[in-house]
Homo-oligomer: A and B are copies of this chain.
Amino acid sequence: MAGGSGAEHGGGSDLPLRFPYGRPEFLGLSADEVECSADHIARPILILSKDTKRLPWTTGYAEVINAGKSTHNEDQASCEVLFVKKKTGGTISTPNKNTSTKRRSSLPNGEGLQLKDNSENDGISLYFWSLFDGHAGSGAAVVASKLLHHHIVEQLQEIAEILKNSAVLPPTCLGEEPESPATNSRTLTRAASLRGGVGAPGSPNTPPTRFFTEKKIQHESLVIGAIESAFREMDLQIERERSVYNISGGCTALVVVYMLGKLYVANAGDSRAIIIRNKEVIPMSSEFTPESERQRLQYLAFMQPHLLGNEFTHLEFPRRVQRKEVGKRMLYRDFNMTGWAYKSIEEDDLKFPLIYGEGKKARVMATIGVTRGLGDHDLKVHDSNIYIKPFLSSSPEVQHPGLCCMAYGIGRILN
């Protein structure tokens, strides 16, 4: 976990858990073994046996309990082989009922994750690996490890038929006859172009429903959009269901999807995905921290200062400003600066900085050290009513290397 308070899972809530606590399903641990894995003295390393054929692509895994920050391991992981069935008719299956996914094995007693009797004509097979670095409780990470892949499958279902048809670009509008080529290739005079194009507000004598350019969207962009939507839907589900379930804390989410011969790496948080090829380490994700997202966070606070609850300033200073320094000139950074400049210190600058600390100690609102992820809807600044969530984003950055054969690793940052 990176920052956040140390609340344990299940503590302080009368609501039932959404899913019982455990270690990743593919480890196949008994309740006793789960208990042993949390031994903070022995700190056993849990690995998959090399003989295990359970996971695809000779996937490996290792975990160990942290050195005492939380009673239980708040991190989670999952690995799934899934099949996205083409959508037929108008019914949309709901992820929390598990009906949208055709999973072809049950773990840990099944004979391993593999696709069996699905014809590729009916849909798309999909390999899914994920890792969730939990903080301030294990609830969000457990829920995400059980449900995020269902959201991805649901998002992909709508576009499965389009994705299968790789010879034709995705249609801009569904259920519409393609425009005639003459309409699409219509060109504009330079004068009309400078006026902003046909159909722009205020451009005279042009019908508002015509268009002269149409962006061509690639199939891969639809997969990326589906993964992005799935992350948002997962976060909204946690937000909704926390009124009836105890879903504690928050988590980062790092997901790898392989489908239709292509790899997608989606990251919301500060975990890392790497590819090792010819002994070279290729980073496949970038980290989202108070430092890497400083300008986004400061910009939001600048535009919506009420989010700071009159306790924080959106400006960054190299250290806390002291009262005796009011009137003096001190180094600062605003949202639109990467360099530093001096400003005259005012009363308002005595507030605590929105972003404070360096490296692993950098925090948003003195509370959290990671700026993207799932959950955290109830996280507040200590002893205040200021919510942190508006500053956290559930949107992943999706990288799409277009490679498919390499040693591959995902992991959390040790801290």
Contact = CB atoms under 8 A, between A and B. Distances in A.
Contacts of A6: 194
Interface string A168-212: 001011111000000000000000011111011111100011110
A319 to B, nearest CB: 4
A51 interface: no
Given A176-B328, A215-B319, A197 B366 contact: yes
A222 to B, nearest CB: 6
How many copies of the chain does the oligomer comprise? 2
Contacts of A158: 342
A208 B324 CA distance: 12
Contact of A340 (B195, B199, B225, B345): B225
Among A5, A204, A356, chain B packs the most CB atoms within 10 A around the CB of: A356
Contacts of A45: none
Contact of A339 (B195, B209, B322, B398): B398
Nearest to A318: B215
Contacts of A3: 194
Contacts of A223: 339
Contacts of A227: 339
Interface residues of A, number: 87
A383 B205 CA distance: 13
11 contacts: A3-B194, A155-B341, A172-B318, A173-B331, A196-B366, A201-B382, A203-B382, A209-B324, A221-B340, A299-B299, A338-B398
Interface of A: 3, 5-6, 155, 158-159, 170, 172-176, 193-197, 199-204, 208-211, 213-217, 220-229, 232, 299-300, 303-304, 311-312, 317-320, 322-325, 328-331, 333, 336-342, 345, 352, 356-358, 361, 363, 365-367, 381-384, 393, 395, 397-398
